[in-house]
A and B are shown apart, each in its own frame.
Chain A
């Protein structure tokens, strides 16, 4: 049932029943987020709002060159400036000098070589932010500028940019018969640009030294334990002497809080013995955090005369930038999902992630899968055109279902209702042409005051089918621990899963409400004194942390009901808790939770650890993924074929969600993901000519505005429960990001007849000349 229909039903129900409904609770209802009001009113504190008595301000000196040898660093002038309290460089890093998120190859501060524009070289703490910035600018660095390697294709031949070499990972996936050939062959070369996660709240943090010689870092981290371990290693401290306290997270579609500023912050606090704060400017934010991998893809699809895929050959080249970060994971996803949710008996996919002097790439949701989706869907469009088959029909002939095998040899055991999703979006009524509304009210490509002319506008319809994996892949240990405490009719959840906006804290409340029948549930703020829960991405917290909360809540339930059940000689399964009341199946027993608690305090801690996965082997084979989620999107676009301006009119989304746990939150996640995909399709590309980041601001880097965001219709949510996942729910945020750019490109292709092989779509690629 679509969300709109659900809302409409809810509205009808509300009209029918004049008495006020009790507050919604439990799973499957749209429980609003506890912090929604504070966030709307602007009173919710984010990391940039932190303050401590006597704090100093930090500034980081970053490299202006993409590739250079550092001849000397002179901090004398900076140190002598009045108000400056400390200047740190690579010489002041007491612990491990080389760290990194996915792979330890990134120095805390550049010492001999800078490998990308914006790499940190020194940091300053001063009593005023301006003084800190001026002092950072006064650090004299003598560079010997080197030629940057910015073309990933040249990275193979180039001199090693790093002691680890330029090849970060190579996966030569071989699946099936290399001699297989189809009746029809289509080929294409595709390029995907560099999308930036562009969190609305730029990075910020506060480091406070502890009396025991340790340090507390207040960060909007999405992976507090990972960041704690990195920081402790850099500071040369035992992990328990570094504590990361998670503050409000202002937007996270990627890993947040890059080490290029959180490590300097901690070092400066340890050095000065004072609290040190840094709030990144927008420019620093763009220079500091990792981006989506720019990707070059070459594809050859073989199909039989009916359009059934016979073989896919592909070469995928990911530009990892200067440091590896999580590029290895992105490459695994790109290679494994290179054919998309289609049945492909023979697949030969070569994938490389290579080092360049471009800004580092890392985790941005849907990484790897989004780039290949744009390419394989373009191939499906080409195949449909060549065979003269309707693009949706061609896709339907090839879609996978549960039991089919991925090119990695892994059998898809989870629900894979791809055909159902595609049919749902295909059959949804198309939006009407605006011919019945007055012409001056039309929203044409180019916007309300743009240059659009109705006579030059063509409408196109296109499809994108996307898939992502959930949780960490290839043997990553996925585990989360949660504690539930109940006292006096109030439940408290302790879990180190960060609320990044994905709604984990709301979900945790719903889970406890559902299991214990207690309405008032609090989720305590996260810090690293709690056991680890993993980074907030790939649906991890809905699955692993949600599972842990459920188990802990069930253990509390047993503790609560055991004495009663024993007293009445029945098992706890025969008792149920609703609205704070405990009743037995036969209605004989009826008491309240508060009474049953009898003033006691109940605690339970539980872990959730999904079934293990295995790394891809040397031919790209292996059961690397815990589960997968699918989505189909139909895009309708208007293109001004003279100016090449594109407006996405409507996106119809059908998604495989396993189970709807919170309809409003689910719809919000899908709409946000789809909009991020529209940005990747049309405007978002951080340009780095010769390795230099151009226009690192939100004017030059165009995020979609309300006018750019299309009408989004969630036409179907397939609730086929994934039996291995807690609640049967799947990750929902990433897969719309994967499929929507492909759908938009497909629609522009249908409107213009142009190949559209590059994302974001440049206006000149959507112009029809001589026609």
Chain B
């Protein structure tokens, strides 16, 4: 176990020991270690790297440190900046998990149920990845999650660049219980008044967050951006259905041209996504 104090030291440590595994909050990793599923040769602890535990402002964006904990992101000052990310952080498990788990860890684990992921996808966030020799490169979060651009040996997620949109954002999560639980489905929806756009991502129903781009464009042109943005209930409903159908399409038609019905559980998931998307848009526009 090494405990570097800067990002470059951590990268150097990882480069020196290719078998080492970086650990931040450890909420996923240490559970795997404790249950004997994972025996890393060495650990590089990221907890003492102070430069990635806060955030700074840069050209209308926020540069979020990968070591920000869910608990920190859930606080009101952060919620004023990026409300949807704050809401997802507050929903990300019980307090002891939120105190330890980090933004970077959520991205690196890339669990389908990672609560920050649909928010980052909707915000079109970009990762600043630190590499050997002080190198920095930018990777769109969706490229990493889709496996189009993976982290290379020795690389670490240093920062997450998120646009500051100064407009309502919503994160909604359906779980099977009242207490903290993994998402059955989640929806992140952000408004971008400057570009007159609505961006939405659906989490937990696929290996990575899904973006219903056509539904976003359709609803953006319905909104009166300069006055009262509210939409009639039928439009909200239609948006929900549109998003749900885009993310959970009908089965392919059979040979006789009929569309076989979806299994009840999938149908319920589609209804859930539709309700979440409708509620999210309604809350963002109200």
Contacts and interface: CB of A to CB of B under 8 A. Distances in A.
Interface residues of B, number: 28
A584 to B, nearest CB: 59
Interface stretch (B4-12, B51-59, B175-183): B175-183
Nearest to B267: A764
A296 interface: no
A706 B179 contact: yes
B79 to A, nearest CB: 12
A699 B173 CA distance: 17
Nearest to B240: A642
A122 to B, nearest CB: 17
Interface in A756-771: 763-764, 767, 769
A643 B178 contact: no
Contacts of B276: 451, 643
Contacts of A767: 268, 271
A450 B185 CA distance: 11
Given A699-B182, A763-B268, A767-B268, A450 B175 contact: yes
B257 interface: no
Interface string A632-645: 00000000001111
A492 interface: no
A704 B176 CA distance: 11
B174 A643 contact: yes
Nearest to A702: B177
A769 B173 contact: no
Contacts of A764: 264-265, 267-268
Interface centre among B39, B175, B180, B272 (most CB of A within 10 A): B175
A124 to B, nearest CB: 14
A451 B174 contact: yes
B174 A282 contact: no
Given A133-B36, A449-B87, A708 B179 contact: yes
Contacts of B272: 642-644, 763
A644 B268 contact: yes
Contacts of A707: 177-180
Contacts of B172: 450-451
Given A642-B271, A643-B275, A763-B268, A447 B36 contact: no
Nearest to A648: B178
A154 interface: no
A449 B91 contact: yes
A677 B272 CA distance: 26
A446 B35 contact: no
B178 A447 contact: yes
Interface string B247-284: 00000000000000000110110011001100100000
A130 B265 CA distance: 40
A447 B174 CA distance: 9
A699 B31 CA distance: 11
Nearest to B115: A449
Contact of A449 (B90, B265, B267, B271): B90
A682 B178 CA distance: 10
Given A764-B265, A767-B271, A453 B178 contact: no
A449 B173 contact: yes
A448 to B, nearest CB: 8
Given A449-B90, A451-B173, A281 B178 contact: no
Contacts of A283: 35
A705 interface: yes
B94 interface: yes
A125 B127 CA distance: 48
Nearest to A769: B271
A443 interface: yes
A282 B35 contact: yes
B53 to A, nearest CB: 23
Contacts of B175: 446-447, 450, 645
Nearest to A281: B35
B36 A281 contact: yes
Nearest to A443: B178
B239 to A, nearest CB: 15
Interface centre among B173, B180, B182 (most CB of A within 10 A): B180
B271 A447 contact: no
Interface in A441-487: 443, 445-451, 453, 456
B265 A708 contact: no
A708 B35 contact: no
Contacts of A281: 35-36
A62 B87 CA distance: 42
A647 interface: yes
A295 interface: no
Given A644-B268, A705-B94, A764-B264, A446 B174 contact: yes
Contacts of A75: none
Nearest to A642: B275
A683 interface: yes
Contacts of A769: 271
A445 B272 CA distance: 14
Contacts of B181: 447, 702
Contact of A683 (B91, B176, B279): B176
Nearest to A705: B179
Interface string A690-717: 0000000001001011111000000000
Contact of A450 (B178, B264, B268, B275): B178
A769 B264 CA distance: 13
B268 A447 contact: no
A705 B94 CA distance: 10
Nearest to B179: A705
Interface in A644-673: 644-645, 647
B271 A450 contact: no
A74 B44 CA distance: 39
Nearest to B176: A683
B178 A647 contact: yes
Given A451-B172, A451-B276, A708 B87 contact: no
A453 B282 CA distance: 11
A708 B268 contact: no
B178 A445 contact: yes
Contacts of B91: 447, 449-450
Interface string B160-188: 00000000000011111111111010000
B30 to A, nearest CB: 14
Interface in A583-602: none
B178 to A, nearest CB: 5
Interface in A685-744: 699, 702, 704-708
A708 B177 contact: yes
A767 B35 CA distance: 38
Contacts of B267: 764
Interface string B171-211: 01111111111101000000000000000000000000000
B268 A704 contact: no
A645 B174 contact: yes
A615 B267 CA distance: 49
Contact of B180 (A447, A645, A683, A763): A447
Nearest to B181: A702
Given A447-B175, A769-B271, 16 more contacts: A281-B36, A445-B178, A446-B173, A447-B91, A449-B90, A451-B276, A451-B279, A453-B279, A643-B276, A645-B177, A683-B176, A702-B181, A705-B178, A707-B179, A767-B268, A767-B271
> What are the 6 tightest A-B residue pairs by CB atom distance, in nearest-first order?
A705-B179, A449-B91, A764-B268, A451-B172, A707-B179, A642-B275
8 contacts: A443-B178, A447-B178, A449-B90, A451-B173, A642-B272, A702-B179, A707-B178, A763-B176
